[in-house]
Amino acid sequence: MTRDFKWAQDFKCAHCHGYVSGEPLLSGVRNRNHCPYCLWSRHLDLYQSGDRLSACKAGMQPVGLTLKITWKKYRFNEGGELMLIHECIECQSLSINRIAADDDAERIFDLFEGSLEMGDNKKAQLAAIGVIPLAVADRATVSTRLFGSMENVLFNYTEALWD
């Protein structure tokens, strides 16, 4: 069996230096674009996912979560796919990316919690491109998508406090 090179490009994360497999059977996505450990990405795509045409190539920091409602429209709704929001540290370009099956769920939840302090300017920039970051009211939705229920998250954080 030969691997389709376009869909399976392994890489070393430029941020945390972890080895990242591009194998779709592990990640559940065809265009692996971020590290499953630290969630950082690299500014590679210009026009569409997987095109790898961007000249920037800088790191893209995860800054929050959103829900993808349709193929081209982003807004809050109980439906839709949970997506990472990334911001390029060089050119401040914003993009959303699919969460992969092998991403660290606790790190994603921590990212969500940290993004609750997102400033109004960043929210306005995201709104201008049609992306609405998830807010405090979305905590149960995020928890359910990542862990199955909010009770699991509360138990894990309470348990961590006692350690």
DSSP secondary structure string for all residues of 86-150 = EEETTT--EEEEEPPTTS-HHHHHHHHHHHTT--HHHHHHHHHTT-----GGGHHHHHHHHHS-H
The model's confidence at residue 89, banded by pLDDT at 50, 70 and 90, is very high
The Cα 55–Cα 8 span in angstroms is 21
Residue in the block written with tokens 């914003």: 94
> What is the model's pTM?
0.79
Comparing 71 with 51, the larger pLDDT belongs to 51
- Rounded to the nearest integer, the mean pLDDT of the chain is 82
Mean pLDDT of 28-47: 84
Mean pLDDT of 90-114: 94
The model's confidence at residue 48, banded by pLDDT at 50, 70 and 90, is confident
Tokens of 51: 């095109």
Strands 81-88 and 94-98: antiparallel
Comparing 65 with 56, the larger pLDDT belongs to 65
Comparing 76 with 67, the larger pLDDT belongs to 67
